[in-house]
Structure 1
Amino acid sequence: MQHFFKILRFWQLLNLVSKKVSLKFNYFLFLFSFFLCSVTWAQTGAAADSANVNPDKLFYFIFDNDATFKVDYYYTQGIGVMHYNPVFRKSPINKILIFSKNKAAEQFYGLNYKYDSFTPTNIRDPELRIGDRPYASYMFVSQIAGTTNKVKQQRITSSLDVGFIGPATGAGKFQRKIHEYLHHGIPQGWKYQIKTDLVLNYNFLFQQGLIRTSSFELLGEGGGSLGTLYTNANAGALIRFGWMNNYFSDLGISNQTSRQQANLRKWQLYAFGRTQGRLVGYNATMQGGLLNSRNIYIVPAQDISRTILESQTGLVLIVKGLRLESAVSFISPEFKGSRRHKWMHFNVGFAF
């Protein structure tokens, strides 16, 4: 209870400051408070839980950009930070997340931060581009939880995203500053972007190992999202081949100090390919948020592509506690008259 009152007093103080700064600060403050509360509640009860919990503490830094292919449109940039840590198991949000009922399954918990931005095909055009993708950007924090059954080769992952979409992300100013620095086409149309709205999304993913040898793996995947940002269902497959540990042996990086993982390979080098088919119900980055209808321009619902194919091909190098990943991502046209799109994906992770 003391932790709760400390957070409440801290929130009241920052809220007074934010009123004198800007509305944008309130949004950042909201996400920061969400993170702070989750961490504090987790630490408060961490020692009392004796469940079968993955002990690894991992950080992943994720960056997506399409500049490698000399384009600058649609999904043009994404930034993410993911942190797995057993202290998050006491967060109250976990009560609405999904876990396997099998007592042998190993639980894992984490937090994720995501910031993505989208633009039309010509960012130098100052006019409203009807029939193109609207400018959009969102920012959210996710509570992640799940279970891994190493015997059945299964993993269940669910998460709750909380954040916002709209001008408060600062994506327009951010992109302009980058382009000014690079002397490369200043974006002109962010004034037409999707307006501010709530991001509240629930996500689920189930993975099942199908084929496994010492150098090859095939997994089946299925899941979906429901909420104000994305509502969809997807299914696909993941293939990995090379010098690697079993996919279900860890959360992407083996912790050599753990007794359970001491016999795993200290270094890995493998290629992977992932393909997913998606049924699209709603996409706020094109259709606008569900609570704010004052958007200047959106893609009409009848023009949204209801079936999407997305794929990713890449390489992973893991040396002890360091993971380096690079991949090419591809997505089929998302709305009537749009193009296929691809971008580079980079992921740097480490255990500590």
Structure 2
Amino acid sequence: MKPSLILTLFLCFYGSCGHSQHPYELKVTSDNDNYCLQLHDGYYTNGLFLTLNYVPNWLSKRIRETGKLTKITSSYQLGQMIFTPGVISPTLSRDLIDRPFAGYLFAEKGMTFFYKKGHVLKTSLSIGTTGPNSLAQQSQFFIHKTLELDLPKGWQYQVKNEVGINIQGQYWHELIPESWRRKWLDIHATSQVTLGNTFTNVSAGLLFQMGLFEATGQSSLYGARIDNDQSSSRKPNELYVFFYPSYQYQLYNATVEGRFFSDNAGSVLSPIRHWLYKNDVGFVYSLPRWTFQVVYSFKGREATRMRQPENYVSLATSFRFGHQNH
């Protein structure tokens, strides 16, 4: 094989062959506290998410009828979250459980609306389950067996089974006027509301984006590098960092307090802390087909019994595919 052909195939694999857009994106996200390299396994200890983003043709065609929107995207997500006490040694006793054992397994449908002024609105509906039906214990045991780690004890005290329905709205409001908007800096005020019998909370914060990035309607930060319009993308690559400090008020959290509609006999639970501080620091590198993202998250204590705040790292890889519809 000629060297020039090898180079061409290499560039195409990493998405450098042209600036064409693709209407579908598959994203895999893995959260884990051990990614922090602190040899700590507890609290929000593992999360795995599979997301399919796409451009809905029937809605995209209607954008031309309104003067406010630039794009609409849709998504499906499957995910599992695992929560444990701060210490999960094989000798763990009931009185040392400072955060309940809990899992959350869910499916979610989302819609995201991108506005010409740089604002973004995302709405979603999720259906899931806590308790043994979340398969959190089996997942953690599989991970520990694979890595030849000690199996944690205490899952018999986890929160009980309950089906949960949750709706969520997220809004990003552009703060920098377009007339003097920097190409290397963007700032959004953010807000989020979640209502349901698994999570009920509200949060607000500021999102700072710095580096080489697209406008919101084409930025990988919002899952917007998918499109049917080949001319809509201006930059083949993105390279940037972001900072996202926020405060949250949580009214209910089933992974801490247990089932909403019935008792939790046998579970070890905890009252919640209503006010939480969270800060995400992320690095993103995006090519025409691929996006790679690393995010470090620091979060305050969700339960009053928790001995310390929690932190974890999120690793995500996205691949875009499909052909434009003309």
Q: State the partner residue of 1:180.
A: 145
Structure 2 vs 1, CA of residues 88 and 342 (structure 1 numbering), >3 Å: closer, same or farther? farther
The Cα of 1:133 is off from its aligned counterpart by 0.5
Asked if the contact 1:78/1:116 (under 8 Å) is kept, the reply is yes
Which residue number in structure 1 is paired with residue 105 of structure 2?
Answer: 139
- Asked if 1:206 corresponds to 2:175, the answer is no
Contact conserved, 1:286 with 1:298, CA < 8 A, in 2? no
1:319 matches 2:319: no
Q: CA deviation at 1:184?
A: 2.0
Asked whether the equivalents of residues 254 and 266 of structure 1 are also in contact (C-alpha less than 8 Å), the reply is no
Q: Output the amino acid matched with 1:137.
A: G
Aligned to 2:278: 310
State how 1:187-198 maps to structure 2 within 5 Å. 187-198=152-163
The whole-number CA distance in structure 2 between the counterparts of 1:111 and 1:88 is 16
1:156 aligns with 2:121: yes
Cα deviation for residue 248 of structure 1 reads: 3.0
- The question of whether the paired residues in 1 share the 8 Å contact of 2:99 and 2:305 is answered with no
Sequence identity, in percent?
23
Matched, 1:63 2:27: no
TM-score normalized by the length of structure 2 = 0.81
Q: Is the 8 A contact 1:59 1:351 kept in 2?
A: yes
Structure 2 match to 1:259: 230
| 2:218–2:224 Cα contact (<8 Å) kept | no
CA–CA distance in structure 2, aligned partners of residues 275 and 308 of structure 1: 11
The answer as to whether partners of 1:201 and 1:225 remain within 8 angstroms in 2 is yes
Change (3 A) 1:343 1:300: closer
Give 3-state SS (helix, strand or coil) of 2:81's partner.
strand
- Distance across 2 between alignment mates of 1:89 and 1:295: 49
CA distances 1:127-150 after superposition (whole Å, capped 9, x unpaired) = 323661010001111110131112
The CA deviation at 1:88 is 9.0
Partner of 1:85: 54
**Secondary structure, counterpart of 2:202 in structure 1:** strand
Q: Which has the higher helix share?
A: 1
- Could you say what secondary structure the match of 1:132 adopts? coil
Cα separation, 1, equivalents of 2:252 and 2:23: 35
Q: Which residue number in structure 1 is paired with residue 5 of structure 2? A: none
1:243 and 2:212 aligned: yes
Report the equivalent of 1:332: 300
Deviation of the 1:194 alpha carbon:
0.7
Q: Aligned match of 2:238 in 268, 281, 296? A: 268
Aligned to 1:297: 267
Asked if structure 1 preserves the Cα contact closer than 8 Å seen for 2:100 and 2:270, the reply is no
SS of 2:255's equivalent? Answer: helix
2: CA distance between counterparts of 1:208 and 1:188?
A: 45
State the 1:175 CA deviation: 1.2
Residue type of the alignment partner of 1:136: A
Counterpart-to-counterpart distance in 1, 2:58 and 2:193: 23
Say yes or no: does 1:280 pair with 2:250: yes
d(CA) in 2 for partners of 1:294 and 1:226? Answer: 21
In the aligned structure 1, how far is the partner of 2:99 from the partner of 2:259? 15
Change (3 A) 1:64 1:281: same
- Aligned pairs for 1:31-50 (under 5 A) are none
Q: Structure 1, residues 173-211: CA drift from partner, whole Å, max 9, x if none? A: 221232123232211111111110011001001111112
Deviation string, structure 1 residues 21-76 (Cα, Å, up to 9, x no partner): xxxxxxxxxxxxxxxxxxxxxxxxxxxxxxxxx98311211110011321110000
- The code of the aligned residue for 1:275 comes to P
Whether the aligned pair in 1 keeps the contact of 2:22 and 2:227 (CA below 8 Å) is no
2:189 matches 1:220: yes
Amino acid at match of 1:259: Q
Distance 2:113 2:193 in 1: 17
How far is 1:335 from its partner?
2.3
Return closer, same or farther for 1:208/1:252 CA change in 2, 3 Å cut-off: same
What TM-score results when the alignment is normalised by the length of structure 1? 0.76
RCO comparison, higher one (Cα < 8 Å, 6+): 2
8 Å contact from structure 1 (residues 67, 343) kept in 2: yes
Q: What is the RMSD of the two structures over their aligned residues, measured on CA atoms?
A: 2.3
Q: Which runs of 5+ in 1 are unaligned?
A: 1-53, 91-100
Question: Is residue 195–residue 292 contact of structure 1 (8 Å, CA) maintained in 2?
Answer: no
Q: CA deviation at 1:247?
A: 2.4
